[in-house]
Amino acid sequence: MMAEERDPPLFTDVEITENSDFTELEDDEAAEELFVSAVSRSESSEGFFPGSNGPRAQQIVLDDEPDDLFPEVTEEVSLDSPEHEPILSDGPSPAITPITPIILQEDDDELENRDTLEIQICVSDPEKVGDGMNAYMVYKVTTKSTLSIFSRAEVSVKRRFSDFLGLHSKLASKYLHIGYIVPPAPEKSIVGMTKVKVGKEDLSYLMRTVKHPALLKDPDVLLFLESSELPRAVSTQALSGAGILRMVNRAAHAVNRMTIKMNEADAWFEEKQQQFENLEVLMRKLHASVESLVCHRKELCVSAAWFSKSVAMLGNAEEHTALSRALSQLAEVEEKMETLHQDQATADFCIFSELLGDYVRLVSAVRGVFEQRMKTWAKWQDAQVMLHRKREAEAKLQYANKPDKLQQAKEEIKEVLMLSGPRWETKVQQGERDFELISKNIRREVSRFEKQRVKDFKVVIVRYMESLVHTQQQLIKYWEAFLPEAKAIA
Amino acid sequence: MCCSEYLAIFKKTVAMHEVFLCRVAAHPVLRKDLNFHVFLEYNQDLSVRGKNKKEKLEDFFKNVVKSADGVLVAGVKDVDDFFEHEKTFLLEYHNRVKDASAKSDRMIKSHKSAADDINRIASTLYTLGTQDSTDLCKFFLKVSELFEKTRKIEARVAADEDLKLADLLKYYLRESQAAKDLLYRRGRALVDYENANKALDKARAKNKDVLQAETTQQVCCQKFEKISESAKQELIDFKTRRVAAFRKNLVELAELELKHAKGNLQLLQSCVGVLKGDT
């Protein structure tokens, strides 16, 4: 499995390590050759990673998205290379849960196509634990299910926000590199919100996770849902939340886009990648507009309240009795407007805006998976290059007609090969297999993702429209009640 | 500035001018004013020049004097119950109308901002609809179309609220100020009259310039009585007009709100029907 390989990753991640982990490189020659191969492959290479030492210092152009990159990040930031311990993983946990990912079998597709999954997860009852600086919120996570993977039909556990982040990072480290779309961690502010269920779709983070047939059976997920004691995800405290994780990932994506020039043989991938890029832009735009709408509706709500009070005062001052009464009725109508606008703003937000926010993150996760494929391809290519060079070196020595040198060279190569573990030929084969696997997985994942996206949007948009209908119906009621009062002014 | 916004502003301006002219025409004295007749009948360009700097400065000082004086005059208690009551009433009414006017402007502004957001949402949904490769493309296009239509209605609601409510309040803000000014002028006349009385008493006591004092006193008395009479009528008319104007505008406001809400409702319901049929 991929996780067991310990060969150096080939400049694929944003590994801007201060104390460079070059202890992993078996010999300087190999390191140099890596560097050479890197330079020769990426044509555009200007720019730099401050903080990285040694031959890895690459120059990358930063003009496209200057605000996307974090040159100051000096910690290891790659989450998705299995070779390095991801910084967000729990310290003591490897002993408890195996890091082998669950691979989907063909018959799991059946699970995917079922309309309703026999599982319900509810996050509720936020409780404050501790006090002062060390206080944190704890949530009750209740899982009700008839599925056999669960030990009980109903189980409740207490989880804190860092547990959610920890779960996400474990899943990401296990599955991203084989092309599964791991749902991004939720925002801290909405973890305890109960309003994420719309129609029969539950859009919460945990439900989204278990809707994935492989993740549903993942031991870490099961532990999260069932185990009363969960080892604390210690390093997640250092990062205040999923937000920073995402920013860092965007930096990684930006770098990858620039360094890996892949010869795409499959048009499907190119097309899909473009589609998801466009989709992300539009989701962000829409999300921003809806958030602005929520904001203005809240303003409208507040100003309607003020106006109502003002009109009531005017009504009091008015001498003419009928007009005075009509004005106080108007004040009442405006007061009802205030509530109406408030409710609508809540609907705007909880129903529509939240979904859009989720999808901005989800589409970003999908693009991450495409990038994983690129990295896998790069690895495969690098293995091929290495193999070629080794063979060239061997051939050169053969023709040089220095039998003693040849012997020495052969010994050197043997040594190198022995030290570097599996032979390069095997590596090439492995690389190709990995690439094919991830490509296959991505196709399936994208299809599953799109199906879910269609379901989610349809259900949410219809619900949102219904909330708008309700608002108009209420409006009609209020004004119809007011009209006779206005006409009664004599 | 787009077409509908221009139309809304145009409607507003026309309405304000019409109200002004009708007011003048309804006034027993002002309707006979020559300037008014020239305005209505002269069929060529009137070439009215704006106030020059000197005139603007004069206005400014007049206002300053008036406010200062107004404070003094307002302090004088009126014997006449009617006017005393009117003074108290107008002061309070004016302040409350001012507040209501400001708050209604605020509210309508928020309403317009919300309509603008819906506009942006509609156009992003349209782009999404054209680019989406799934079933959702039809969905997005339909919803985008709907939002375009409801947005127009929302904008019209805001414009109508502006016309029927905000403008009404602004108008009565100025009217109540004008009424206060009238009271001030009467108060001024009263003070002059009282001063003239005192002067006459003094003159009679000293037996000096009695005739002059008597004439002054008589002039002041006449002025005061005349202004009191017309002020009373004006203030009664003010109430009548105010009630009528509020009635007309509030009824029209309610009718328009209903019309737009019903329009919106129909659009939304038919859209929901189509979307649900699709799923």
What are the tens digits of pLDDT across the range A76-99?
333 343 333 333 333 333 333 445
CA distances from A458 to A323, A455, B187 (A): 48, 5, 70
Full-model pTM: 0.73
Q: What is the average per-residue pLDDT within B186-203?
A: 89
Q: Give Cα A429 to chain centroid, integer Å.
A: 30
Task: Give me the residue from B97, B136, B265 closest to A476, CB to CB.
Answer: B265
Count of pairs with CB atoms under 8 A, one residue in A, one in B: 159
Residue B12 or residue B124, greater confidence = B124
Average pLDDT, chain B: 88
The string of DSSP codes covering chain B is --HHHHHHHHHHHHHHHHHHHHHHHHSTTGGG-HHHHHHHH--S---PPPP-HHHHHHHHHHHHHHHHHHHHHHHSPPSSHHHHHHHHHHHHHHHHHHHHHHHHHHHHHHHHHHHHHHHHHHHHHHHHHHH--STHHHHHHHHHHHHHHHHHHHHHHHHHHIIIIIHHHHHHHHHHHHHHHHHHHHHHHHHHHHHHHHHHHHHHHHTSSHHHHHHHHHHHHHHHHHHHHHHHHHHHHHHHHHHHHHHHHHHHHHHHHHHHHHHHHHHHHHHHHHHHHH-
Q: Which CATH class is domain A115-230?
A: alpha beta
**Per-domain boundaries in chain A:** 115-230, 268-489
If pLDDT is split at 50, 70 and 90, which confidence band does A309 have? very high
If pLDDT is split at 50, 70 and 90, which confidence band does A436 have? very high
Residue range B212-244, pLDDT digits in tens: 889 989 999 999 999 999 999 999 999 999 999
Instruction: Compare all CA atoms of chain B with the CA of A480 and give the residue at the minimum distance.
Output: B258
Burial B25-64 (b: 16+ CB within 10 A, else e): eeeeeeeeeeeeeeeeeeeeeeeeeeeeeeeeeeeeeeee
Instruction: Compare all CA atoms of chain A with the CA of B139 and give the residue at the minimum distance.
Output: A458
Structure tokens belonging to residue A199? 């129609």
Does A268-489 match A115-230 at the fold level? no
Strands A119-129 and A201-202 come out as unpaired
pLDDT of the residue at B279: 58
pLDDT of the residue at A195: 56
Q: Which residues of A touch B90 (CB under 8 A)?
A: none
Q: What is the average per-residue pLDDT within A321-339?
A: 93
Closest listed residue to residue A155, CA positions, set A232, A89, A221: A221
pLDDT of the residue at B84: 87
Task: Give me the residue from A480, A487, A489 closest to B243, CB to CB.
Answer: A489
Q: What share of chain A is helix, strand, coil (3-state, %, to 5)?
A: 65, 5, 30
CA distance A483 to chain B (A): 6
Q: Which residues of B touch A487 (CB under 8 A)?
A: 247, 251
pLDDT of the residue at A305: 94
Q: What is the average per-residue pLDDT within B54-69?
A: 75
Residue A144 or residue A406, greater confidence = A144
Contact A48, A58 (CB under 8 A): yes
CB contact under 8 A, B103 and A454: no
Q: Is B114 near chain A, with CB under 8 Å?
A: yes
Residue A237 or residue B5, greater confidence = B5
Task: Give me the residue from A292, A319, A327 closest to B89, CB to CB.
Answer: A319
Contact A15, A9 (CB under 8 A): yes
Instruction: Map tokens 């006090």 to a residue.
Output: A131
Q: Check whether A286 has a pLDDT greater than 70.
A: yes
Residue A147 or residue B161, greater confidence = B161
pLDDT of the residue at A36: 38
Residue A217 or residue A34, greater confidence = A217
β partners of residue A461? none
CA distance A16 to chain B (A): 37
Q: Check whether A114 has a pLDDT greater than 60.
A: no
Q: Which residues of B touch A313 (CB under 8 A)?
A: 96, 99-100
Question: What ipTM, to 2 d.p.?
Answer: 0.82
If pLDDT is split at 50, 70 and 90, which confidence band does A335 have? very high
Q: Check whether A52 has a pLDDT greater than 80.
A: no
- φ, ψ of residue A87 to 5 degrees: the values are -65, -20
Structure tokens belonging to residue A45? 């290479």
Q: Check whether B153 has a pLDDT greater than 60.
A: yes
CA distance B191 to chain A (A): 28
Instruction: Map tokens 């050759």 to a residue.
Output: A33
Contact A119, A92 (CB under 8 A): no
In angstroms, the CA A487 to CA A16 distance is 75
CB contact under 8 A, B278 and A458: yes
CB contact under 8 A, B275 and A465: yes
CB contact under 8 A, B96 and A304: no
pLDDT of the residue at A96: 38
Q: What is the average per-residue pLDDT within A63-81?
A: 38
CB contact under 8 A, A454 and B135: yes
CB contact under 8 A, B272 and A469: yes
pLDDT of the residue at A193: 60
DSSP A152: S
Q: What topology does CATH give the domain A268-489?
A: Substrate Binding Domain Of Dnak; Chain:A; Domain 2 (1.20.1270)
Q: What is the average per-residue pLDDT within B161-166?
A: 94
